Amino acid sequence: MFNTASTTPGKLLQMLAALLLFAAIMGVILFIAGRLGRGKNGDKWVGYIYLLPAVLMLLIGLVYPGLRTIYESFFDAAGNAFIGFDNYKTIFTNEDELTVLRNTVFWVVFTPFVATAVGLVYAILVDKSRMESFAKALIFLPMSISFVAASVIWKFMYEYRPDQGSVKQIGLINQIIVWLGGKPVQLLIESPLNTFLLIIVMIWIQAGFAMTILSAAIKAIPDDIVEAARLDGVNAWSMFRSITLPSVRPTVVVVLTTIGIGTLKVFDIVRTMTGGQFKTNVVANEFYSQTFRADNQGLGAALAVLLFILVIPIVAYNIRQVRQGA
C-alpha cells in the first residue's frame, strides 16, 4: 500500500515491522536459551546465547563502520581513486587544518583541567554548608540543558552591536565594556580569543558534572582522618594538599578523562556559535563539514580516524585508573 517510508503511515508501518522483528528475534533467542539451558554446561551456553545479539550489534554498528571509515580515508573526495596517506598529509600540512588541530589542542588542554578545578574547589567550599543543596543545584543547572541551548545563551552574552549613539548593546559582555568606558568588540570573530570564549561555554557546562562527582568522593573520605588532621592543627591548604586531594585523586583522574573525551568530540558549541568560521573550527566540526558540506568523503574519513586515535589513549588510561582503584 505504501511504497516508501516517506509518508507518516509508511513510517509507522516501518516502525511496527521493526518492533515485530525485534520481538521475534528475542523470542527465538529465549527459546534457544531455554532448550540449551537444560543440558550439560547449560549456564555457559545460555550466557553465549544472550551475548550473541550484543556482539552482532557491536560488529554491525561499531566495528564494521570503523573499518570502513579507515578504508575510505585512503581514497579521494569522491571515494574512487586510492591516494594513500594524502588525506592525512593534508591534515598536518594544510593551513586551515593546522588551525583546526591547534584549536582542538586548546580545547583539550584547557577545558578538562579548568572545569575539574572549578568543580573541585566549588565542591570543597560548599561541603557541609547550610545552603549546600541549593549551591550545588546552581552550578549543576547547566548540565540539564543541551549544548545547543547553552550555546544560544552564551551567543547572546557575546552579542555585538555597532558603536553608535542610538544603538544599545544586548550582549552582557559588551554592555559591561561600554559601562567601563570601552568600545564594544566583535568577540566571536577575534581569533584566538573567540576559541577561548567558546571553551568557557564548555567549562560552564562541565563544571557541574565535575562538582557532583568530586563532591561524592569528598564525602566518602573517612571522618576520623579529617578529625585527626584538624586535631593536629592542619590548616585549610594543608588539609586540601595532604588529605583531600590524595583521597579523591582516582576520581579526579576519571573526571578529567571523561571531560577530555567529551571535549575532543565537541561539535554543538562550535557549530551553533560560529559554524567553525573565524578560525574556531575543531576536528569534530571539520569532519562534519568535509563529509556533509564539502562532500569530501576521503578527508572527512581521515579526520574521523584521527579523532578516534586521539580518544583511544584517554579511554585506555581511564580504564586503567578505574581498575587500579577497584
Contact 302, 83 (CB under 8 A): no
For residue 79, what are the CA distances in angstroms to 61, 72, 265, 297?
21, 7, 25, 6
Helix (H, G, I), strand (E, B) or coil at 207: helix
Where in the chain are the domains?
A: 1-58, 73-149+203-325
Q: Where are the beta strands (DSSP E) in the chain?
A: none
Closest to 272 in 3D by CA, of 154, 125, 163: 154
CA distance 224 to 209: 28
**Beta-ladder partners of 82:** 75
Write out the chain's pLDDT in tens, 326 residues. 445 556 778 788 888 988 898 888 888 887 877 777 666 666 777 777 778 888 888 898 889 999 999 999 999 998 889 999 999 999 999 999 999 999 999 999 999 999 999 999 999 988 888 888 888 888 999 988 999 999 999 999 999 988 776 778 888 999 898 888 888 889 999 889 999 999 999 999 999 999 999 999 999 888 888 888 888 888 888 888 888 888 898 899 889 999 999 999 899 999 999 999 999 999 999 999 999 898 999 999 999 999 999 888 888 887 887 777 65
C-alpha cell at 186: 566583535
d(CA 173, CA 171): 6
| 82 phi and psi angles, rounded to 5 deg | -75, 125
In the chain, the amino acid numbered 74 is: F
In contact, 307 and 287? CB cutoff 8 Å: yes
Return the C-alpha cell found at 2.
Answer: 505504501
Residue closest to 187 by CA, chosen among 98, 282, 280 = 280
Alpha carbon distance 201, 147 (integer Å): 9
Q: What is the pLDDT of residue 325?
A: 64
By the 8 A CB rule, do 182 and 209 touch? Answer: no
If one looks up domain 73-149+203-325 in CATH, what number appears? 1.10.3720.10
Taking the CA atoms of residue 220, residue 222, residue 225 and residue 228 in that order, the dihedral angle to the nearest 10 degrees is: 120
Determine the 3-state secondary structure of 240 from DSSP: helix
Residue 299's pLDDT is what?
A: 94
Cβ partners under 8 Å of residue 210, min gap 6 = 115, 116, 118, 119, 120, 123, 255, 259
State pTM to two decimals.
0.83
